[in-house]
Amino acid sequence: MSTAPSAAPRLRLRAPAHQVDPRAVTWWRLQDALFWVAVLVAVGVVLVFWRPGWLVALEVAVAVVALVDVAVSPRVRYARHRWEVTDVAVYVRTGTVIEDWRVAPLSRVQTVDTQRGPLQQWLGLSTVTVTTASTAGALKIKGLDRDAAAELVERLTAATEATPGDAT
């Protein structure tokens, strides 16, 4: 048992093998842009009627933050979000400020779902959710190519059905 103190080697979780589809960057960029446009328009409507200096400054500041966010964060997110499915487990990494790694064995997978929002449908993307019997064990792979996602779901479902019991 490797509970021996001090001599422990330095370890880390390795990056999962695959990235999601590059179109996911466009998807997240559109999502972010839509959010910021809504904020800018809301403040802009107020500006039409009432134009104190600080509110104009706020609108400009929001616009700058929005531009930086739309330009940078989808790429960072794309770089951070990776996934992998081996013969025994699903492994997903997400998050930048709070990093999050999840591993679930295929034998404990309960359901495999696919979601496609309007933007994703237009871009031909899918999000695959793998759930286990615990809320801490839900894995999401966001922004896969639609066909690749379908293939993955099929593979995961087959692996799940091959395991007897109710995966608890």
Partner 1 sequence: MTVTGAPPVTAWSRLDRRSIWVEAVRPAAGLLLAGAVAVTFRGWDRVGWVEPAIGAVVVVGILALSGWAWATTTYRVTDTHVELRSGLLVRQERSVPRDRLRSVDLTVDVVHRLAGLAVVAIGTGRQGGESDDDVKLQAVSTAEAERLRSVLLARGPARTDEPGAGSVEEAPTAPMAAFSASWVRLAPLSLLGLVAVGVVAAALAQFADAIDYGQLWRSGPVRSAVEWVRGVGVPLVVLAVLLGLVLLNTVLSTVLYVVLYGGFRLVRGDDRTLRLTYGLLTQRSVTIEEARIRGVRVDEPLLLRLGGGARARIVAAGVGAAGADGKERRDSDLLLPAVPAGLAHRVTADVLGVPDSPAAVPLRRHPRAALRVLLVRWVPASALPALGLAVPAGLGVFAHWPWQLALLLVPVAVAGALLEFANLGHALSGPFLVARGGAAVRSTAVVRRDGIIAWRVRRSVFQRRPRLLSVTAAVAAGKGDRTIAWAGQDEVLALAVDAVPGLLAPFVEPDPH
CB of 26 to partner 1, least distance (A): 27
CB of 138 to partner 1, least distance (A): 8
User: Measured between alpha carbons, how far is residue 161 from residues 61, 90, 126 in Å?
Assistant: 53, 15, 22
Asked if residue 142 lies in contact with residue 24, where contact means CB atoms within 8 angstroms, the answer is: yes
Q: Which is nearer to partner 1, 5 or 53 (CB)?
A: 5
> Looking up tokens 């446009």, which residue turns up?
37
H or E stretch covering 111: strand 111-115
Residue 55's closest CA among 69, 68, 38, 42?
Answer: 42
CB of 19 to partner 1, least distance (A): 16
Q: Which is nearer to partner 1, 109 or 123 (CB)?
A: 109
CB of 69 to partner 1, least distance (A): 17
Q: Which is nearer to partner 1, 39 or 89 (CB)?
A: 89
Q: Give the binding site for partner 1 (CB under 8 A).
A: 1-3, 5, 8-14, 16, 84, 86, 88-89, 91, 97-105, 108, 131-137, 139, 166-168
> Looking up tokens 């639609």, which residue turns up?
146
